[in-house]
């Protein structure tokens, strides 16, 4: 079934020259038949801007903004959300830890009526295979704290990754603050929505380049959680549904 809703994928990049081309190609393969574009918001100090410049010449779907005077994952993603014009917005890391193929079922979830799709490593059919024991522990603790402090995260199995898709209209009037590293919890706490769909996916090893996760990220996360506890909206009537791998396949066939 062909679909007219446009998808814009926002990808924050910091020194990801070895990844952006492969990522764009894989997104293209994953989204055959879907109207989409990609917005790389780049703060790199390596040759990523050059690679992106070349990429925009080869691939009409690709746009990029290089920022000289600003840095930070959160400000980059929020900038991307402001300039992207898709009906649906997605956020995805550049390093291929989020498999681009997942964009197709995420798109199907929104076409089927979901307001926001939150892929999960932690439900049947998913895996957090790319993480070592220490990272699993850190990520588990972050999830646990989030669920305790923010009621809107309680029923969402994997709310702390950087992979999600939602309806752009949800941002109208939403006061997203670029604090820290976890943009999805900002969106979950500061926007109105009624249906969340979770679909399983397998987290991957970083394909190339280095992690930018800093020690400050932990403190920023705690600060963000307490801020959202005060500022966040109420989410009393939200339905969270979980798709099995089999059901996900059926929904892709039906909606994309
Ligand atoms: N624009 C921009 N992007 C950033 C910044 N810091 C990180 N990123 C990007 O944000 C995404 C997530 O960063 P990663 O370093 O992969 O963080 P992570 O996935 O938690 O850590 P690893 O598992 O070790 O890869 C990647 O696409 C980075 O390039 C920044 O300051 N500005
Ligand atoms: Mg990464």
Whichever domain contains 238, its CATH number is 3.90.550.10
* Residue 132, domain member (yes or no): yes
* Residue 2, domain member (yes or no): no
* Residue 1, domain member (yes or no): no
Q: What is the pLDDT of residue 2?
A: 52
Q: What is the pLDDT of residue 108?
A: 98
Cα separation, 21 vs 39, in Å, equals 13
| Ligand 2 center–CA 4 separation, angstroms | 31
Q: Classify strands 164-167 and 116-117 as parallel, antiparallel or unpaired.
A: antiparallel
| Ligand 2 center–CA 213 separation, angstroms | 8
Q: Which residue has the CA at smallest separation from atom 19 of ligand 1?
A: 211
* Residue 51, domain member (yes or no): yes
Q: What is the pLDDT of residue 3?
A: 53
Give the residues surrounding ligand 1 with Cβ less than 6 Å away: 12-14, 16, 41-43, 71-73, 76, 93-95, 97, 162, 206, 211-213
Are 119 and 173 in contact, with CB atoms under 8 Å apart?
no
Task: Domain of residue 13: give its range.
Answer: 7-255
Which residues does the chain have with pLDDT short of 50? Answer: none
Cα separation, 64 vs 179, in Å, equals 22
* Residue 43, domain member (yes or no): yes
| Ligand 2 center–CA 1 separation, angstroms | 33
Of 95, 143, 182, the residue with max ligand 1 atoms within 8 A of its CB, to mutate for a pocket test, comes to 95
Of 14, 24, 40, 51, the residue with max ligand 1 atoms within 8 A of its CB, to mutate for a pocket test, comes to 14
* Residue 106, domain member (yes or no): yes
Measured CA to CA in angstroms, residue 230 lies from 78, 102, 146, 167 at distances of: 20, 33, 14, 24
| Ligand 1 center–CA 15 separation, angstroms | 9
Q: Is the pTM of this model over 0.75?
A: yes
Q: What is the pLDDT of residue 38?
A: 98
Q: Which residue has the CA at smallest separation from atom 20 of ligand 1?
A: 213
Cα separation, 117 vs 96, in Å, equals 19
* Residue 139, domain member (yes or no): yes
Domain count of the chain? 1
* Residue 88, domain member (yes or no): yes
Q: Classify strands 116-117 and 62-66 as parallel, antiparallel or unpaired.
A: unpaired
């Amino acid at each position: 079934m062909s679909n007219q809703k446009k998808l814009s994928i926002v990808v924050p990049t910091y020194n990801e020259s070895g990844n952006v081309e492969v990522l764009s190609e894989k997104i293209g393969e994953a989204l055959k038949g879907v109207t989409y574009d990609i917005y790389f918001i780049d703060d790199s100090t390596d040759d990523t801007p050059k690679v992106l410049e070349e990429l925009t010449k080869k691939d009409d779907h690709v746009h990029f903004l290089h920022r000289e005077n600003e840095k930070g994952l959160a400000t980059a993603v929020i900038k991307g959300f402001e300039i992207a014009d898709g009906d649906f917005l997605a956020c995805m890391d550049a390093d291929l830890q989020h498999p681009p193929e997942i964009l197709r079922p995420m798109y199907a979830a929104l076409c089927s009526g979901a307001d926001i799709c939150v892929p999960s490593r932690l439900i049947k059919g998913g895996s957090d295979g790319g993480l070592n024991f220490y990272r699993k522990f850190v990520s588990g603790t972050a999830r646990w704290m989030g669920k305790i402090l923010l009621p809107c995260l309680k029923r969402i199995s994997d709310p702390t990754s950087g992979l999600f898709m939602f309806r752009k209209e949800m941002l109208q009037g939403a006061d997203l603050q670029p604090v820290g590293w976890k943009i999805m919890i900002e969106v979950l706490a500061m926007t109105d929505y009624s249906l969340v769909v979770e679909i399983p996916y397998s987290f991957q090893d970083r394909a190339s380049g280095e992690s930018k996760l800093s020690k400050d990220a932990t403190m920023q996360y705690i600060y963000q959680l307490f801020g959202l506890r005060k500022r966040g909206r109420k989410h009393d009537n939200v339905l969270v549904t979980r798709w099995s791998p089999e059901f996900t396949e059926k929904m892709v066939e039906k909606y994309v």
